[in-house]
Structure 1
């Protein structure tokens, strides 16, 4: 009995050591990229293909926030739990509950320039215990061989993650990048593990640190983020300054005039609710605008309101 156990253990060591090296040992894992300046403000949302749910993983937003924060490539704006808490503070201010000079109120929330959309298409291939466990079970035999043969298995874990960036003002997709990761894990199904994932020290959670498939998905997202940052270097330093001016509409009947003067020639009459696009030129309260038919002229900004 003792001899069989020793032989079984020796065979396990020999066979495991002869297996191919883990994929994440064969190549250097990607590192979080760093930027000399933020490319804009960004918020993170879950995409339509939420493949992480198949493997009992939580939303990858915490993971991606960590990547973004450590890279310095974007300024994070919260639209989740933190934002909800901030809104409660504004409600308290509106009720007169906060202390004087708290400086909390409207017009302070930073707009996001971009939205980072996260999606996962993952494949978890389990080859079972036949390749290695079957050999050991056949050689050792008996209950020991059966236990080892049924417990040892090889797992070929793969994950494909997709990150895309959408411009908030124009809804243009600025980039779509795919990241891939693969890790071969040899483990005992009866309890032994391959060690903890020490990448983030428990900060991320959600299964991304303490499960094999979570670790692979983390690396796939990192691969996608590295590619994304490399392809977004041409983004403008100030996204809002190069975006088209927001549209306005007339609040009341007025005139579109050729020059910024109440006595100037009328280009056309404007009815309430007509959409106009500021062209950037201003003369006091007069704005140069263009209507949806391409007519250009001047109108008083007191007759306009932002189009919601």
Structure 2
């Protein structure tokens, strides 16, 4: 009862460090505030990019369904804009809202001064596609094993037993040119988190059961934080690749038959 009383008197902490992931701060145009100092940065954007998840992939269904985590897109949008390597163009719900406004304008419902015209939207030069390769909720010991495709909500029984629990995640980002559909770069990333003892296990279990809005659960569950860290690592590796980018060349041109001969 005393514990409950203390909890009720606790002050709300805005910006609490314990609730943060590796995606910190904010972004506005080419500037950012309180961004992760470990995030790679570009002096100027390389083009426009949309971020598109394969919502039909097995890892996505398990991620958002069974494990109650939201889309990875909002977190990736923040990281990409903070890096200043690409300008984000939305191809999700914000685009739906924009098209609704344009439909209202076409029907004559908007004011004549609304400045809604054809030819205003910006093309996405590239597409970044995220995926989760694997996650392990207890790589360092205990009874849990490897589950492919998706992070596992903490092993509560292992935590209650007082064991050490290690969460690991591996992610992948691919960058595709939208005009040619040629893949320009791909980068993996990984992260690990270690929880000790019963209290850590209970905390992980409680966070995983909560679920939340698109990205919100990533800040209060152990597996969510590991995923964000792995994607941050993936993005750093992707940026490193594009900074040293050299186009692949095929004799005779791309898509013109190739150079592997068939007898």
TM-score by length of 1: 0.54
Deviation per residue, 1:92-146 (Å, 9 max, x gap): 110111111221021111000000000002222433389xxxxxxxxxxxxxxxx
For 1:274-289, list aligned pairs within 5 A.
Answer: none
Alignment partners' CA distance in 1, 2:184 and 2:102: 33
Which structure has the bigger radius of gyration?
1
Alignment partners' CA distance in 1, 2:159 and 2:92: 48
What is residue 82 of structure 1 aligned with on the other side? 94
Indicate which of 114, 128, 148 corresponds to 2:126.
114
Deviation at 1:171, TM superposition (A): 0.1
Indicate which of 88, 109, 112 corresponds to 1:100.
112
Segments of structure 1 that go 5 or more residues without pairing to the other structure are 1-23, 131-146, 237-308
**2:64 matched to 1:50?**
no
Deviation at 1:43, TM superposition (A): 0.4
For 1:199-210, list aligned pairs within 5 A.
Answer: 205-210=215-220
Indicate which of 142, 151, 174 corresponds to 1:128.
142
Deviation at 1:34, TM superposition (A): 1.5
**2:39 matched to 1:32?**
yes
Deviation at 1:203, TM superposition (A): 9.8
What is residue 172 of structure 2 aligned with on the other side? 162
Alignment partners' CA distance in 2, 1:150 and 1:179: 30
The size of the alignment, in residue pairs, is: 188
Segments of structure 2 that go 5 or more residues without pairing to the other structure are 1-21, 23-35, 145-156, 247-263
**Aligned pair in 2 of structure 1 residues 30, 56: CA closer, same or farther (>3 Å)?**
farther
Q: How much is the aligned-residue C-alpha RMSD, in angstroms? A: 3.3
Higher relative contact order (CA 8 A, sep 6+): 2
For 1:198-277, list aligned pairs within 5 A.
Answer: 205-233=215-243
Alignment partners' CA distance in 1, 2:99 and 2:47: 23
Give 3-state SS (helix, strand or coil) of 1:78's partner: coil
Give 3-state SS (helix, strand or coil) of 2:53's partner: strand
Deviation at 1:58, TM superposition (A): 1.6
Alignment partners' CA distance in 1, 2:197 and 2:69: 20
Give 3-state SS (helix, strand or coil) of 2:243's partner: coil
What is residue 29 of structure 2 aligned with on the other side? none
